[in-house]
Amino acid sequence: MDLDRSHVIREGDLRILNPFDAGKLATLGQAIRLRPGMSLLDLCCGKGELLCTWAREHGISGTGVDISTAFVAAAGERAAELGVADRVRFVHGDAAAYVPGELVDVAACVGATWIGGGVPGTLEILERALRPGGMLLVGEPYWRRTPPDQATVQGCHATSREDFHELPGLVELFGRCGFDLVEMVLADQDSWDRYAAAHWLNLSRWLDDNPDDDLAPQLRAELTEDPVRHVRYVREYLGWGVFALRRR
Q: What's the number of domains the chain is made of?
A: 1
Predicted confidence at residue 32, as pLDDT, reads: 98
112 found inside a domain:
yes
225 found inside a domain:
no
219 found inside a domain:
no
Predicted confidence at residue 2, as pLDDT, reads: 76
Predicted confidence at residue 3, as pLDDT, reads: 85
Q: CATH number for the domain including 49?
A: 3.40.50.150
Predicted confidence at residue 62, as pLDDT, reads: 97
164 found inside a domain:
yes
Each residue of 169-190: pLDDT tens digit?
999 999 999 999 999 999 999 9
Give the Cα separation of 225 and 218 in Å (integer).
11
Contact 245, 181 (CB under 8 A): yes
Give the Cα separation of 193 and 160 in Å (integer).
23
Range of the domain at 37: 5-147+157-188+239-247
168 found inside a domain:
yes
Give the Cα separation of 69 and 93 in Å (integer).
9
203 found inside a domain:
no
pLDDT means per 10 residues in the chain (248 residues)?
89 96 96 97 98 98 97 98 98 94 97 95 97 97 97 96 97 98 97 97 98 97 97 97 97
